[in-house]
Chain A
Amino acid sequence: MVDIVGFCLSFVSFFGIYAILTLSLNLEYGFGGQPNFGQALFYGMGAFVTAILTSNLLLILTHQHLENICTISSLVERETIATSNPSVTLLAWAISGITSIVVGAILGFIASYPALRVKEEWYLAMVLLVAAQIFVIVFRYNTRLGCGFDGIAGISNPFSWLVSLTPINSPVIPNLVYSAIILLFTYLCFVLTERLTNSPFGRLLKSVRDDWLASSTLGKNVNKIRTQVMIIGSSMASLAGWLYVYYIGVANTEDYTSTFTFSIWVMMILGGFANNRGAVVGAFFITALDRFTLIGSTLLQAYFPGFNPNIISYSKYLLESLLLLLLLVFRPKGIMKEGVILTPAYRLFSLRMGEKKNERNYS
């Protein structure tokens, strides 16, 4: 009764999206020292920009008159376009992706303004948290911007036209393709952050995190590097929002609350502070917790009709917070410790050391 293939695909997709978010938070906080408690703002902004742009673009590109994107008729219209018109769908997908990344970068630039301005840095956490809440409230209650409480629905998978082309005629194919694309983007983000953090930029980032005063006395522009890291991190979060909206099919403010920001923090702390591999591992574990509690609650609901399935989802949050508390108290460095920066000189050094070790072993 449990759809195994669907479960695996959803697991992979959620893992990819959470991994991108965790990598971006790790870049901002783990390496850059900017406590971004408003990660959901950038993520949600990417998602809403994607949803609004896609639903308008699909109608514009097929030369139909523009109507309110919230009505059921326009929703049905969009879904028929997505299944029948590959070129328009893919074009809208690409344009909305690029736009959401750009919007994320601009937002990151704006968010770095208070980061430079407030010196007590938990104020920055507070400002970003509040900004994320403002975003949620505006999009939840403003029916003109984001269709209000129900969110913008009807964003189909950009590969749903594959269904009619393939002989199996099943919705598994587009989901499979889209999950693969999410994983590809996750890999790209991983490579990007790995390259960035192992470069002189990464070393400067770490030095600013550890002692911004010292690095500014050495002539480094602390404000510039903080702005840069916020821009890169938030555009990555917006990218994740873009991928997520096309995966889930609806942009609803329920997904972008501060509770979600908190679970990204749990992933980061669990995996390891300032360690990209650790971030991916942490995202994997929390995705597993997330998906298995979901499947557990549906199973329990099926077998015990009297059982309240909400209790399982509540206990997911309970477990998350308990896990974080235990980690902070007993293992603040997470699963993987912060590694060294792999500069070319260090690579050569470790290679030589390895050779020497081998020589010693042979002799």
Chain B
Amino acid sequence: MLNWLLGSIVRSIFESGIFLMVSIGLTLTLAVVKLPNFAHAEFITIGAYTTLIVTQFLPNNLPFALIASFLISGLIAIVVHQLAYKPLIKRRSSLYILVLASFAVAQFLRYTVFILASIGGMLSAHPLINVVPVLYIAGQALTNIYLLTLLLAILSAVFLFFFKFTLIGKSMRAISSNQALAQLSGINTERAINVMWILAGGLAGVGGSMLSPYVTVTPALGFNLLLEIFAVVIFGGLTSFIGTILGSLIMGFAENSLMDFLNIYFSVPYTYTPLIPFSLIIIVLLIKPTGFGLSYSVSRALKQRLIRTQSR
């Protein structure tokens, strides 16, 4: 009777892993450059398409595909920052202008992918990766991609957790609390921000390439996940690391286990699944805008920046 529960728990954990990998990057962006980057989800699409192209030439070569999608989405993130966001931040544009610019970047990247994919005939495709069941737990098959995703999600979380004790991680934290002061004390802010963008874009790209064997890869793949990622981050309080982990677990379980439950017992159709993250965003923003994470210092910094730009 509870057979659906096991299956949905397995899927929930997978999706939580994907959400974690993708939204950690957005948390970093929000913490370091204080930018709600709506183009973040496009890195998922780019990662998925990189995997698609790499596996066309080297079938089943997953490690190479992962490295390629990390590097390509990371590089695109840096280019986007240098060309679009940096001039705007330098001019101290208001936060809405930055949000609008990130919308524009998202649309630009998305439709570039659309045009390239329709020229290459890959508007909806599947990468050539063998998904093989490796392990069986209580009758549920766990595939190789599944286990690798969990491993990568945990690794990236652990890596980022210890990353903040390294020199560049420390300089990122310094920039996050006061960029001008960090620059004055001799921190190479430019380099730290570039590293941040590589990590943010690259992790989202890896998330996309791990997602690609399970879904149909379309140019709107990332865009459809955009608000879910924002739901995770907003739930976690924008910049909190623990909050993001918590948020991705909750999102993963709500979108699979809760939705299965609602579908079986209340016959709610699966097409309404996006309403879960949407209502989560609205409820969190209206009731507890600081989120359920632990660190509030940076959301305060965000507020201060807003006040600064408003008073000008």
Point out residues on A near B: beta carbons under 8 Å: 29, 35, 37, 114, 117-123, 125-127, 129-131, 133-134, 137-138, 140-141, 210-212, 259, 262, 265, 269, 308, 310-311, 314-315, 317-318, 320-322, 324-325, 328-329, 332
Contact = CB atoms under 8 A, between A and B. Distances in A.
Given A114-B286, A321-B103, 9 more contacts: A29-B96, A120-B306, A126-B230, A130-B278, A133-B274, A321-B108, A322-B108, A328-B97, A332-B97
Contacts of A269: 100
B185 interface: no
B119 interface: yes
B57 interface: no
A249 B77 CA distance: 42
Contacts of B114: 310, 314
B88 A329 contact: yes
Interface size class of B (residues with CB under 8 A): 35 or more
17 contacts: A114-B282, A118-B286, A126-B285, A133-B278, A137-B278, A262-B104, A311-B119, A314-B115, A314-B118, A317-B107, A318-B115, A320-B107, A321-B103, A321-B108, A324-B101, A325-B84, A328-B93
Contacts of A210: 310
B99 A125 contact: yes
Which 8 residue pairs across A and B have the least CB separation, nearest first? A321-B107, A141-B271, A321-B108, A318-B111, A324-B104, A321-B104, A314-B114, A317-B111
A140 B36 CA distance: 28
Interface string B253-280: 0000000000000000101101100110
B142 interface: no
A325 B86 CA distance: 12
A127 B104 contact: no
A127 B286 contact: yes
Of the candidates A35, A37, A314, the one having the most CB atoms from chain B within 10 angstroms of its own CB is A314
Nearest to B238: A120
A126 B285 CA distance: 9
A29 B234 CA distance: 24
Contacts of A317: 107, 110-111
Nearest to A320: B107
A324 B105 CA distance: 9
Nearest to A327: B104
B251 interface: no
Contacts of B84: 325, 328-329
Given A120-B303, A126-B234, A137 B107 contact: no
A210 B94 CA distance: 11
B103 to A, nearest CB: 6
Nearest to A269: B100
B278 A265 contact: no
A122 B96 contact: yes
Interface in B98-127: 99-101, 103-108, 110-112, 114-115, 118-119
